[in-house]
Amino acid sequence: MTTNEPRWLRRGLIALALAFIAFFLLLPLVAVFVEALRQGFGAYLRALQEPDAWSALKLSLLVAAIAVPANLVFGIAAAWLIAKHDFRGKALLVTLIDLPFSVSPVVSGLVYVLLFGAQGLFGPWLIEHDVRILFALPGLVLATIFVTFPFVARELIPLMQEQGRDDELAALTLGASGFQTFLRVTLPNIRWGLLYGVLLCNARAMGEFGAVSVVSGHIRGLTNTLPLHVEILYNEYEFVAAFAVATLLALLALVTLALKALLEVRHGDALAARARH
Amino acid sequence: MPGFGLTLGYTLAWLSLIVLIPLTGVFVKSSALGWDGLWRVWTDARVLAALKLSFGTALAAGAFNTVFGTLVAWVLVRYRFPGRRLLDGLIDLPFALPTAVAGIALTALYAGNGWVGQWLLPLGIKVAYAPLGIVVALVFVGLPFVVRTVQPVLAEARRDIEEAGATLGATRLQIVHRLMLPALYPAMLTGFTLAFARGVGEYGSVIFIAGNLPRVTEIAPLLIVIKLEEFDYAGATAVAAAMLLLSFALLLAINLLQARLSHRAGGLR
Amino acid sequence: MQIRIDHVVRHFGRHAALAGIDLHIRSGELVALLGPSGSGKTTLLRAIAGLEPVDAGQIHFGERDATTLSVQERRVGFVFQQYALFRHMSVLRNVAFGLDCRPRRSRPTRADIDARALELLARVQLADLRDRLPDQLSGGQRQRVALARAMAIDPTVLLLDEPFGALDAKVRVELRRWLRDIHDATGYTTVFVTHDQEEALELADRVVVMNAGRIEQVGTPEEIYAQPASAFVFDFVGHSNRITGRVDGGRFVAADAATSWPLPTPQADGPAQLFVRPHDLMLDAQGQGLAGTVQHLWRRANRQVLTIAIDGQPEMLELDLPLHDASSVPAAGTRVQVAARHFRVFPVAA
């Protein structure tokens, strides 16, 4: 093309962009693995076999196993509502659903402390009935649900809006019930977008730090998710152990990225077209 | 279409339960303090310093990301080179990587004896345990926002606009500067806004590298956590309210600016 | 400014978009590049502009060899198919753009630039839209702004790429006339690309018919229409009918072997095709023509159109007859004889 930048400039810009990404993105990622293996592979494996690390992993998986399906159901319901019906206040509803995105993770945890903490709204009632929300699993789950609330919805809403209502209307005219229509017509259409949303939701759910940090109480072996466990190890100067556990999360991130890229390449047309995030 | 009542009810109920009611708790608690109480917290030197630090570093990181993020988007969209696909996928790393992991990794890199830090220390540049470290962490966290908002706009750019400029005598620099960039400004601003908003509230990737000295390297979210641990719910809420209000005001201003820009710009389409 | 194109070649991979183009455009001429998609007409136009490099050959603007000049240096006024107006600039600034970009030394004052832009806008009758944004204009208005913008740099040549392609039929016709007026008033050497032969024949001083990267014929609209140099030109320009057969002893013998017509000029024997316009065919009451059956009749404006399936011919013939009275027109299914007035015979490539 005769109206392009001169080749030297192009090369220079590419080099600059690559250097920027390598320095700011790649380097930290590499550092996680290098630091984890600083004392050799043996020490790395031992750190991963610590019982506290295992509890943290199990807890993270458990929290995600509750939070992700919860937001999945919500995302489907909200997307069905918004994409297949007309009503006033739709824009407002979408904005409200997006709220958790614009709130700091710490504030996300704060709101539950204000509700369920010792001095919170329900604090006295909870103590009276010996129900633990904060510093226990329910608190962690709630905070995680809050933080990952919009993920599935944000993926499904534009996708289902793009896909329109014709397919569903056709099914209805042929006698299908609402539920049948959803199951047999809508679901197959949105399955890749759904998977995509679940993928992102899960990555965030397992990796969330700020919000769960506030509600967790940091009780070792009980209320520490993987990211919190990393923090504890690090603060105790157990650097190799901290990085070792961090590699698990980093691997999760890489797998998430790979699956994400795979979905975009294979089924890009079945995902929402507008820019996400 | 069936299911309206069911989904409406469920959506509103769930939304209220999980998001709206808890969030209103912040305002209820804040109003319990009253304006006097709020003002007293807000004007406390430590709080002011934390707010200034959070917003200042987020601004700096956002600006830095806007420049380099646009460059990266440009390179990804307009040029072909080996590894482009891989690079494109890597951009989303900060979205996928847990903030705590990023935090400890960055600290390992930029501490005085760290991979990068050891080269900078003799030059008198202190990154870890200084505001600069916070900026570096926020650059990591906010990078994808700018790239991902600018990329689609660039991808849609029409070649004939550039060709038209060339036939009219514009140099390559003039074409980029007068014809292409104006169409990108709205997207760049959006990207900046998203990165900035994220940076203000960022916690996990910052608290390891920051040093957390009150009034020096203590970010607002950390101050909230500290106050909670001291059972100063009121104080924590006040700081949170300040963050929410300031962010809201800034975002509103940027959105208005955005609307004006978009009205003038037309894009390259 | 005259333009001379010497044996220009351009390849895209193994496909030859331009397979050796020789063309001489006189100063002040309005030339049409006419052809189907893929004929190379747009590639040739862009090569003149410098937007497309050439693999071989030369392009001269007047005495100057422009082949190695950059797009900017060639100072061509290019009007794009989708207008390519700068959406974030007002109409006036769009038109002034070329002048605004001049290097400081040769740039006129802001006031002068604005005056010249306004003058051009007045010439295209859009002076009162000077402060509007392109999005607020209709398609026809945008195209006029694009032309004014191209003229603002006092171009060596005006190049238009399917300038009316994206417009409604009615607007297209209006703008055609208007373009001719502008050309006559300004005297710029102008080359435009079109696939619409009506447009080419109506507007141009000369028409260049292109096919598959080569020039089939260059001539005035009358020459192209009445004396097509090849089967392609005959078929592409205007309606045409085709009759398969062979040349034998100075006569064209149709495939049914029963009918033959004498050729006006001697031609070599061999397989050939006869091309004839619908209005040059008639029904032969004496029974000395191609035998066939009437398939279909309909009216087009004030003409009677018939399609006839001819015995032994793969293609149907379309006759375009003046409408006299309904009774003389045969009904569908009738057997008729078809004779031809003017026709051209072209050999079939082996």
pLDDT band with cut points at 50, 70 and 90 for residue A277: very low
Which chain C residues are within 8 Å of B170, Cβ to Cβ? Answer: 72, 97-98, 101
Residue in C82, C102, C133 closest to B160 by CB: C82
Cross-chain Cβ contact B148/A5 below 8 Å: no
Rounded distance, CA A67 to CA A65, Å? 6
Question: Which whole number is the average pLDDT over C52-56?
Answer: 92
Q: Is the pLDDT of residue B267 over 50?
A: no
pLDDT band with cut points at 50, 70 and 90 for residue B268: very low
Q: Is the pLDDT of residue C325 over 80?
A: no
Q: Is the pLDDT of residue A125 over 90?
A: no
Which chain B residues are within 8 Å of A16, Cβ to Cβ? Answer: 71
Going by C-alpha positions, the residue among C310, C204, C221, C304 that lies closest to residue C257 is C310
Cross-chain Cβ contact B266/C87 below 8 Å: yes
Residues of chain C with pLDDT > 70: what percent?
99
Rounded distance, CA A117 to CA C178, Å? 79
The answer to whether A3 contacts chain C (CB < 8 Å) is yes
Strands, E assignment, A99-161: none
The answer to whether B169 contacts chain C (CB < 8 Å) is yes
Question: Which whole number is the average pLDDT over C315-319?
Answer: 90
Q: How many angstroms away from the CA of B247 is the closest CA of chain A? A: 9
- The 10s digit of each residue's pLDDT in A50-81 is 999 999 999 999 999 999 999 999 999 999 99
Question: Residue A30: how many CB atoms within 10 A of its CB?
Answer: 15
Task: Annotate B110-134 with b (16+ C-beta within 10 A) or e (fewer).
Answer: bbeebbbbeebbeeeebbbbbbbbb
Please tell me the predicted confidence (pLDDT) of residue A90. 87
Phi-psi sector, B76: left (phi>0), alpha (psi -120 to 50), beta: alpha
Cross-chain Cβ contact C84/B158 below 8 Å: yes
Q: Are C194 and C200 in contact (CB under 8 A)?
A: yes
pLDDT band with cut points at 50, 70 and 90 for residue A3: low
Handedness of CA B173, B174, B179, B181 (dihedral sign): positive
Token pair recorded at residue C202:
């109506």
- The 10s digit of each residue's pLDDT in B156-206 is 888 999 999 999 999 999 999 999 999 899 899 989 998 999 999 999 999
Rounded distance, CA A158 to CA A164, Å? 10
Task: Annotate C112-135 with b (16+ C-beta within 10 A) or e (fewer).
Answer: ebbebbbebbebbebbebbeebbe
DSSP string, B90-128: HTTHHHHS-HHHHHHHHHHHHSTTSTTHHHHGGGT---T
Substitution target in A30, A107, A116, A215 with the highest count of B β-carbons within 10 Å is A107
Which chain B residues are within 8 Å of C88, Cβ to Cβ? Answer: 182-183, 264-267
The answer to whether B168 contacts chain C (CB < 8 Å) is yes
Question: Which whole number is the average pLDDT over B47-53?
Answer: 93
Substitution target in B6, B8, B10, B11 with the highest count of A β-carbons within 10 Å is B11
Going by C-alpha positions, the residue among C132, C142, C30 that lies closest to residue C81 is C142
Rounded distance, CA A114 to CA B30, Å? 11
C13 by Cβ neighbours in 10 Å (0-12 / 13-18 / 19+) ranks as: exposed
Cross-chain Cβ contact B265/C87 below 8 Å: yes
Q: Is the pLDDT of residue C77 over 70?
A: yes
Q: Which amino acid is at C137?
A: L
The answer to whether C101 contacts chain A (CB < 8 Å) is no
Token pair recorded at residue B42:
């807000």
Q: Is the pLDDT of residue B254 over 90?
A: no
Cross-chain Cβ contact B266/C80 below 8 Å: no
Which chain B residues are within 8 Å of A274, Cβ to Cβ? Answer: 152
| Beta strand C30-34 pairing with C190-194 | parallel
Please tell me the predicted confidence (pLDDT) of residue B263. 65
Residue in B158, B167, B264 closest to C88 by CB: B264
Q: Is the pLDDT of residue C277 over 70?
A: yes
Which chain C residues are within 8 Å of A2, Cβ to Cβ? Answer: 50-53, 70-71
Substitution target in B156, B161, B163, B168 with the highest count of C β-carbons within 10 Å is B168
Please tell me the predicted confidence (pLDDT) of residue B269. 38
Going by C-alpha positions, the residue among B215, B248, B241 that lies closest to residue B42 is B241
Query: What is the complex's ipTM, to 2 decimals?
Result: 0.88
Q: Which positions 210-269 of A are in contact with B (Cβ < 8 Å)?
A: 210, 213-214, 226-228, 230-231, 234, 239, 242-243, 246, 249-250, 252-254, 256-258, 260-261
Q: Are A243 and A36 in contact (CB under 8 A)?
A: yes
The answer to whether A2 contacts chain C (CB < 8 Å) is yes
Please tell me the predicted confidence (pLDDT) of residue B262. 66
Going by C-alpha positions, the residue among C221, C223, C222, C241 that lies closest to residue C231 is C241
- The 10s digit of each residue's pLDDT in C203-239 is 999 999 999 999 999 999 999 998 999 999 999 998 8
Rounded distance, CA B98 to CA A248, Å? 11
Please tell me the predicted confidence (pLDDT) of residue C303. 87
Q: B267 to chain C: nearest residue by CA?
A: C87
What average pLDDT does chain A have? Answer: 89
Which chain C residues are within 8 Å of A3, Cβ to Cβ? Answer: 51, 71
Higher pLDDT, A271 or C22: C22
Going by C-alpha positions, the residue among A58, A70, A77 that lies closest to residue A206 is A58
Q: Are A138 and A155 in contact (CB under 8 A)?
A: no
Indicate the SS3 state at residue C303: strand
Rounded distance, CA B212 to CA B206, Å? 9
Which range is least confidently modeled, A229-233, C164-168, C306-310? C164-168
Q: How many angstroms away from the CA of C160 is the closest CA of chain B? A: 12
Residues of chain C with pLDDT > 90: what percent?
61
Place of tokens 């909200």: A78
The answer to whether C264 contacts chain A (CB < 8 Å) is no
Q: Which positions 95-124 of C are in contact with B (Cβ < 8 Å)?
A: 97-98, 101-102
- The 10s digit of each residue's pLDDT in C59-69 is 999 999 999 89
Cross-chain Cβ contact B90/A113 below 8 Å: no
Please tell me the predicted confidence (pLDDT) of residue A276. 42
Question: Which whole number is the average pLDDT over C336-349?
Answer: 88
Question: Which whole number is the average pLDDT over C79-93?
Answer: 93
pLDDT band with cut points at 50, 70 and 90 for residue C327: low
Q: Which positions 76-105 of A are in contact with B (Cβ < 8 Å)?
A: 77-78, 80-81, 84-85, 87, 93, 96-97, 99-100, 102-105
Q: Is the pLDDT of residue B265 over 70?
A: no
Please tell me the predicted confidence (pLDDT) of residue B225. 92
Q: A4 to chain C: nearest residue by CA?
A: C51
Residues B212-215: contacts with CB within 8 Å, 24+ apart?
B213/B129, B214/B46, B214/B49, B215/B45, B215/B46, B215/B49, B215/B50
Cα→Cα distances A175→A160, A172, A180, Å:
22, 5, 10
Q: Is the pLDDT of residue C249 over 60?
A: yes
Q: B168 to chain C: nearest residue by CA?
A: C98
Please tell me the predicted confidence (pLDDT) of residue C326. 58
Q: How many angstroms away from the CA of B52 is the closest CA of chain C? A: 36
Question: Which whole number is the average pLDDT over B92-96?
Answer: 93
Q: C46 to chain A: nearest residue by CA?
A: A2
Please tell me the predicted confidence (pLDDT) of residue A1. 47
Indicate the SS3 state at residue C18: strand
Cross-chain Cβ contact B178/C101 below 8 Å: yes
Cross-chain Cβ contact C53/A2 below 8 Å: yes
Which chain B residues are within 8 Å of A6, Cβ to Cβ? Answer: 172
- A vs B, Cβ pairs < 8 A, gives 269
Please tell me the predicted confidence (pLDDT) of residue B3. 86
Q: Which positions 145-204 of A are in contact with B (Cβ < 8 Å)?
A: 145-146, 149, 165, 168-169, 172, 177-178, 181-182, 200, 203
